[in-house]
Amino acid sequence: MATIIKTWATSVELHQTAAYGGTDVVLAADQAFDYTAAVDLRTTGSQGAQVQIKYRGSNSTDKLVVEVFASLDGTAFDSEPSVRYVLLNTGKPQQFSFIVEDVAFFRVGLKSSDTNTTFEYEINQQIWILTNA
């Protein structure tokens, strides 16, 4: 009987603002989405990815809204998210992780829940593939 194991790829940075050592733009307090690049699970035959977000609001007024959008081809993404998270914001550094599985491509959209808070953030993803041991 074969043993199936989960083999993890190297973690990949999708976005990193100055507070986390990067040069990407801070999430504006305008209720408009910032999107990550597409994550390709199809080409490598990956089953899924763990996504980790580190974030800090400029104040504790608004929440951070995180949505995941799927795609069959990596260019035409769903107009409605497959999942939506509304994250607590204390104005101090926080971290949140989630799993995306069984889609060909996905991207993550982030926005402030209102117009009072900007967000510094970092997003990393790490895909996995199931293999025989």
Tell me which DSSP letter residue 26 carries.
Answer: P
Domains by residue range for the chain, with CATH: 13-132 (2.60.120.260)
Counting as low any pLDDT under 50, the low residues of the chain are none
Nearest to 9 by CA among 37, 50, 69, 68: 50
Task: Encode pLDDT of 42-56 as tens digits.
Answer: 998 999 999 999 999
Q: What is the pLDDT of residue 128?
A: 95
Q: What is the pLDDT of residue 30?
A: 87
Please state the pTM of the whole predicted model: 0.92
Q: What is the pLDDT of residue 62?
A: 94
Cα radius of gyration (the chain): 16
Nearest to 34 by CA among 106, 89, 95, 111: 111
